[in-house]
């Protein structure tokens, strides 16, 4: 149970992609603490096993979310063990990282990787759960975008395109399924202390802190709090929205 004593997800089945580390792990744990039966998938077997030991209320799968057959198997098997998905958090995604470059010297192979892991996985996973949610007349989907989709940071054109694609997809899907009792929203974190963040040069971190009005870098738990709110019944009147979680760096 979390600090506030809430069990908003008791009796609910929650699926989280990219759950072994960082925001995915923190959010999955928050759902679990609030009573959810939990299904998690990630390509990092040891980390996922350490974070989420299998028990009767946890289904764990190791696999690459870019593989449609893997995702199909994940949702099929989790439903057989836990029941239909009530909440989907599409967390998995990645920038080009060490392959990132200015657009004029970038490679199409890199763009395709970024779009596939960031946008296409979100669309595939959503496609696998939406028909069941429609049939039951209820459901929550929360998708992971990024503040950089709004800022348009240089050197990340492929990632910005993919993350803005997630926002556009979310808005369109939200309009389609709202009359069927389903909400679809986006979180767009800024500087969050994750493993990827730790790889950044210190001068980049210092610049981000200077540009952030609250004066510090966020924690994965800050994003987890927002995701679980949007996935809860408390947010029943919120859909198609993008919630930026960045300490005020981007204000719209």
Taking the CA of residue 239 as centre, how many other CA atoms within 13 Å lie in the half-sphere pointing to its CB?
19
Residue 91 CA to residue 66 CA, distance in Å, equals: 13
Q: One of 31, 52, 74, 159 is an active-site residue; which one?
A: 159
Active site residue 159: yes
Closest Cα to residue 72, out of 30, 131, 119? Answer: 131
The radius of gyration computed from the CA coordinates of the chain, to the nearest angstrom, equals 17
Cα–Cα–Cα angle for 28, 30, 36, rounded to 5 degrees: 75
**What are the two backbone dihedrals, phi and then psi, of residue 202, each rounded to the nearest 5 degrees?**
-60, -35
Which residue, chain included where needed, has tokens 């800050």?
222
Strand pairing of 182-189 and 37-42? unpaired
What is 113-151 written as a DSSP string?
Answer: HHHIIIIIHHHHHHHHHHHHHHHHT-EEEEEE--THHHH
Residue 45 CA to residue 12 CA, distance in Å, equals: 25
The SS3 call for residue 108 is helix
Active site residues: 159
């Amino acid at each position: 149970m979390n600090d506030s004593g809430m069990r908003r997800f008791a009796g609910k089945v929650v699926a989280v992609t990219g759950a072994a580390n960082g925001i995915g792990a923190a959010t999955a744990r928050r759902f679990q603490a609030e009573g959810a039966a939990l299904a998690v998938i990630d390509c990092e077997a040891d980390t996922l096993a350490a974070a989420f030991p299998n028990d009767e209320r946890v289904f764990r799968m190791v696999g690459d979310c870019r593989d449609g057959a893997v995702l199909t198997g994940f949702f099929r098997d989790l439903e057989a063990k836990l029941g239909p998905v009530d909440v989907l958090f599409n967390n998995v995604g990645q920038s080009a990282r060490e392959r990132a470059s200015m657009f004029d010297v970038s490679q199409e192979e890199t763009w395709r990787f970024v779009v596939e892991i960031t946008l296409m996985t979100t669309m595939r996973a959503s496609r696998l759960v939406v028909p069941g949610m429609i049939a039951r007349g209820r459901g929550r989907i929360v998708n992971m975008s990024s503040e950089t989709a709004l800022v348009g940071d240089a050197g990340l054109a492929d990632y910005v395109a993919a993350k803005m694609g997630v926002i556009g997809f979310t808005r369109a899907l939200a309009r389609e399924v709202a009359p069927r009792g389903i909400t679809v929203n986006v979180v767009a974190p800024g500087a969050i202390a994750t493993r990827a963040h730790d790889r950044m040069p210190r001068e980049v971190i210092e610049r981000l802190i200077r540009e952030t009005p609250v004066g510090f870098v966020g924690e994965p738990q800050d994003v987890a709090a927002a995701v679980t709110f949007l996935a809860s019944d408390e947010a029943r009147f919120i859909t198609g929205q993008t919630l930026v979680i960045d300490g005020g760096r981007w204000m719209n």
